[in-house]
Structure formats: structure tokens, C-alpha cells
Structure 1
Amino acid sequence: MTSRRGVNAGDRGSAVIEAVIGVPAFLLFVGLIIFAGRMAIAQQAVESAAASAARSASIARSQPSAISAGQDAATSSLSEQDVHCQSHRVTLDTSGFAAPVGTPATVTAQVTCLVDLADLAVPGVPGTKQVTATMSSPIDTYRER
């Protein structure tokens, strides 16, 4: 039986069923794209914070000031990039300051951020995800240490 518009009566209900199945699948797909984008942005921000921490620490004049400068630089970098970490940790290896003048040495910074993803109500997406980056920066070989 066909109606005036040429559509079968049984075809009208199939559009509703397609929408009931298709719309949640589409929303899940969009949620996963948003999750992947936020993780990529968080990874880039943590890498930038680690590079900033390593560079700031490598130009400091002493080991204690290098640790302080590196931690401040990482924290500042994360806040400037508007990354919402539930918690973050900055670990600096400043043992290169103990190397004798004329010996190549580096400062290594590791930044770990626990990214909050609780606002994404997507099934299978964890509430938090840990992102870690490590960067190194050379200490001037002939600088007084």
C-alpha cells in the first residue's frame, strides 16, 4: 500500500529506527574525536613545559637555582597553555652541574601531568590520563659551575 507521496507505510518507521541507532553512534564518534584532540593538545603542552623547564634549568648558575627555575618554568608553561592538570610533577636531573668545566653536560626535565577528562561523558574514556614528556638541554661547556 502506497500513500499519495509514493512512500510505503512501512518505510516511515525505518527512518526512526535508523535515527535511534545512528545518532548515538555519531555522538560517540564525535566524543572520541574530542578525546583524541584533547590528548594531542595535552601531550604538546607537556612537551613544551618539559622543554621550557630544561632550558631554564640549563641557564641557571647553580644546581639549586636550576631546580627552582626549571620547576617554575614548567608550572608557568602549563598554566599559560591552559592545560588543566589534576596534578603535575616536574623532575629535574641537574647532575650535569657537578661535571668539571670543559666537560659536556646536560640538564634533563621530566614533566608528568594527570589530565582531567571527567567532563567527557564518553563510554570507554577514562576520567584521567597521565601524560609524560622528557626533554634535555645542554649546559654551557665552558661556563663556570
Structure 2
Amino acid sequence: MAARIDLTLDCADAQLLAGFWKTALGYIDEPPPPPFTTRAEWAAQFDLLEDDSEDDGAWLCDPDGVGPRLSILKVPEPKTAKNRLHVDVRVPGHGGAAERWARITAESERLVRAGGAVLEVFDGHHVVMADPEGNEFCVAAGPA
């Protein structure tokens, strides 16, 4: 049996990034683990430090249960270099090269409106983007 992975993204503002990545991936807030009924109830078990808040983290999941879980956690240090691992947002659909590129372009534009930024365009193939905190990701064609 293959192992499943979760992805964890360090950040300065967990709620800002959670909103962006929910828009980008179609993810939802992950329910708290049983037996907890709310994230606040779950967080209370950890005796957070005075400077910590339950808003310093966000947990997202694929509503269909297919994609990896995404944990977004506030850290004190800023991002200082290019990601060593990045996310590829794959835009589904059929068609020829022009149709695929139109979908990639439309998705990139949608993500700019959501707070992302275009870093580099590889015409006809993929777009390198950054989320609101500068974490790089790509938008490319994917399976139908």
C-alpha cells in the first residue's frame, strides 16, 4: 500500500493563505479530528502560548478525498529563498494545444484576481506564479 502525503506550508498569515489556496484548489476547511466538534475545541488541548492563536493555522482538504491535505502554519521567520518543493495546479480538460493554453491562461488570471502573481510565462506550456506570500507554484494542463 502506498503512503499518503500531506503538504505543510509555512507562512506569516495562515488565514490569508488558506483563503487563496481554497480558491486555487477547490479545497475546503478540514473538519477537526474526532471527538472534537470545532477547531477551537481541538486547539484548546494544546495550551497555546499567549502570543499564539488558533488562527495561526489552517487545515484544508480535498472535498472528494483525492488530493493531499494542506496544513498552513504561521511561523516567525520570513520566506527567504525559492521553494525547494512547489505545487503544480493542473487545469483539467480536453482539446488541442490552443485550448489547453486558453484554460491555463484563464486559470492564471483567476488566481491573480484571488491574490496571486504571475512570475514567468512559458508560452503554450505553463505559468509560474506566486501565492500572496510569495510561495511559487505552476499552472499547467492536467488530465481531463
Bin of the TM-score, shorter chain as denominator length: 0.3 to 0.5
Structure with higher strand content: 2
Larger CA Rg, structure 1 vs 2: 1
- Normalising by structure 1, we get a TM-score of 0.33
- Normalising by structure 2, we get a TM-score of 0.33
